[in-house]
Structure 1
């Protein structure tokens, strides 16, 4: 029944993502931009840990801060059209700069993972945009990793150099999705700063493989500051996630997040938006016996007479809760099981 769908769900959780590094011994492939994956069957085993950083092999990695510095120091790549008459062969250092590991990481990925800020910034200036947008085996670009690790200065440098905002990792998340999920407010600010409206709108409309847009993730993770930022940047208040049709307001109601509910309503969210099963935010609030949120919705003017696909109004889900029933003072007048309020005779 739809009423079951309107009862309390288990909230969605996203796995934290980071690139794994075992060693740098197998540099065997030339650098090539990667195409998005078509296999959406789920994250790889190495991504199954949620709270634990997955690059736990840092200590055993043959790449250290010192070796990174040595590689980058005094190295410059040829610009397009520049000929190598004197040195047709790349040096060993240049080969390191232009190859990737068995995990798909460039040296820029590694520098970010090691949180070597100065080296990372040097590499960003050194590399052309095409290198900045290379995705590793988990389809993470350097911008994904810098955002995940909350390296806002690196994020700024990547954005200034033209790194793509629209690349999606193996879970379908853009870097802005990552910022919204993990509450990386400064990174979100840098990602959205001075971006053309059309380019930003495309990112804000992008849904990950679970059907969630950035606004949904901000609401799901109670990231109020980022929520405000996204709304200021023109995010669609009423965008529906792809699995059940919930809006950010539905998620805020499910979480009993009064601050987010008020914020979204004050910004003009559709209080009567319906999920694919016809449930409105008021259906969800009443189904969860949340009189406070139900009252906020009613005071804002939510339609108490809307019926879901099971032909239930929000009152039908009140289940004898006096606090909820008090919000519907006349709705208990029924004929043949239907409320007569608003019925024309």
Structure 2
């Protein structure tokens, strides 16, 4: 009689290039020859590990039905559940092994739990296995388990693998949005680095990520967005971070500001088809806005960087002149065009209650402010959208309360529940 199937000879049968055997073939062979469910190969894998590793779903179920240990760990501490979690058939295999008693909270010798594996799986599905992640969390898998070497929690992995829906789910379940991994890196940093993901960055900022958080090298998310040659996604990330109040002049441990990093990484790429690179233009304009808020004698470190490029320096000087003009253009008391450019839109929205605000704004020809005209228009529209949404929210509250609440109370209620999405906004901290 032929020897029974073991962990040592099963892999050879699975990997046959001629007359490859299906799950049904292997099940039949197991019935004829028998199978040693406790056998181990040189990596201490069982036959169950091997069947899972090769996505042989029916064979997995056959082994489990016949008593295979669903919690046997291999040399690396990987249990059948963890093997299932890294399979492209995870949606079928994970529920199957858990049905037969697999411990959902198992971790390998490197500290990885099922979430660390599952999030890394490539999937064309937009949900990125959201339902499976929900199930695992419900069964006790911890969202703050860290990998031993990288110190990464599932939230770090989800951001790096650009799994937006999983990031949202993990945050909903209480993941620490500012958790630091190896080298002090944090989710917002990972969202900005290596080309960046604007949609992930926006989500994290809206959920309250600390825009000025630093890693062990002193770098912020803005530094990360400026470290490599910039693509369109970087530009969007830079703008999102600046809009959220990121400190353009924060220095890392090497003394580099974001502007200095752009200068280092874009040498030879300052101009594109004869025009100033728009990423640099964005940061130069922000530098000019900061400059005119300081005493005239103040010299900023980044001005030394800008002076290295005569055309950029000329552009910077033009921006300063244009920015100074906006400061003199008053819309209403305590609000100029400069304030529109530099103040959180939720604060501007509050000022828009003035009955003449919009009329007075429209009297200015924004073409006169060539460097900032489009930015002013965008800032106005953003604040107006926020203002209109606030008024609608107030109407809804008044209707629900049968118009019995004083206006001041209604406005304070709206202010408390209506989030502008910018963590540094001083109005949110009042």
Same fold (TM over 0.5): yes
Which residue does the alignment assign to 2:23?
65
CA RMSD of superposed structures (Å)? 3.6
CA 1:285–1:113: 2 relative to 1, 3 Å:
closer
Q: How does 1:271-282 map to 2 (within 5 A)?
A: 271-282=211-222
Instruction: Work out which of the residue numbers 159, 172, 185 in structure 2 matches 1:232.
Output: 172
Q: Distance in 2 between matches of 1:56 and 1:171?
A: 30
Output the TM-score relative to the length of structure 1. Answer: 0.65
Contact 1:99 1:106 survives alignment (8 Å): yes
Which residue does the alignment assign to 1:253?
192
Q: Show structure 1 runs of 5+ residues with no match.
A: 1-22, 28-53, 75-91, 340-345
Q: Distance in 1 between matches of 2:146 and 2:48?
A: 26
The size of the alignment, in residue pairs, is: 269
Q: How does 1:158-307 map to 2 (within 5 A)?
A: 158-169=97-108, 172-184=111-123, 187=129, 189-193=131-135, 195-196=137-138, 199-200=140-141, 202-242=142-182, 244-254=183-193, 255-288=195-228, 290-307=234-251
CA 1:257–1:25: 2 relative to 1, 3 Å:
closer
Q: Distance in 2 between matches of 1:108 and 1:299?
A: 52
CA 1:208–1:227: 2 relative to 1, 3 Å:
farther
Contact 1:165 1:191 survives alignment (8 Å): no
Contact 1:176 1:188 survives alignment (8 Å): no
CA 1:149–1:26: 2 relative to 1, 3 Å:
closer
Which residue does the alignment assign to 1:144?
82
Mapped pair 1:328 → 2:287: yes
Contact 2:7 2:40 survives alignment (8 Å): no
Deviation at 1:234, TM superposition (A): 2.3
Q: Distance in 2 between matches of 1:218 and 1:102?
A: 33
Q: How does 1:57-136 map to 2 (within 5 A)?
A: 58-59=15-16, 65-66=23-24, 68-70=26-28, 93=34, 96-127=36-67, 131-136=69-74
The C-alpha deviation readout for 1:195-228, integer Å capped at 9, x for no partner, is 448x33x343322523332222222222223222
- Further displaced range: 220-229 or 160-169: 160-169
Deviation at 1:177, TM superposition (A): 1.2
CA 1:295–1:191: 2 relative to 1, 3 Å:
closer
For residue 105 of structure 1, give the secondary structure of its aligned residue in structure 2.
Answer: coil
CA 1:100–1:203: 2 relative to 1, 3 Å:
farther
Deviation at 1:25, TM superposition (A): 7.2
Deviation at 1:194, TM superposition (A): 6.2
Deviation at 1:134, TM superposition (A): 1.5
Which structure has more RCO (C-alpha within 8 Å, separation ≥ 6)? 1
Q: Distance in 2 between matches of 1:292 and 1:275?
A: 22
Deviation at 1:307, TM superposition (A): 3.4
Q: Show structure 2 runs of 5+ residues with no match.
A: 264-269, 271-279, 303-430
Deviation at 1:57, TM superposition (A): 6.6
For residue 289 of structure 2, give the secondary structure of its aligned residue in structure 1.
Answer: coil
Q: Distance in 1 between matches of 2:203 and 2:250?
A: 23
Deviation at 1:127, TM superposition (A): 3.6
Instruction: Work out which of the residue numbers 149, 156, 165 in structure 1 matches 2:95.
Output: 156
Deviation at 1:96, TM superposition (A): 0.8
For residue 117 of structure 2, give the secondary structure of its aligned residue in structure 1.
Answer: helix
Larger Rg computed on CA atoms? 2
Contact 2:156 2:187 survives alignment (8 Å): yes
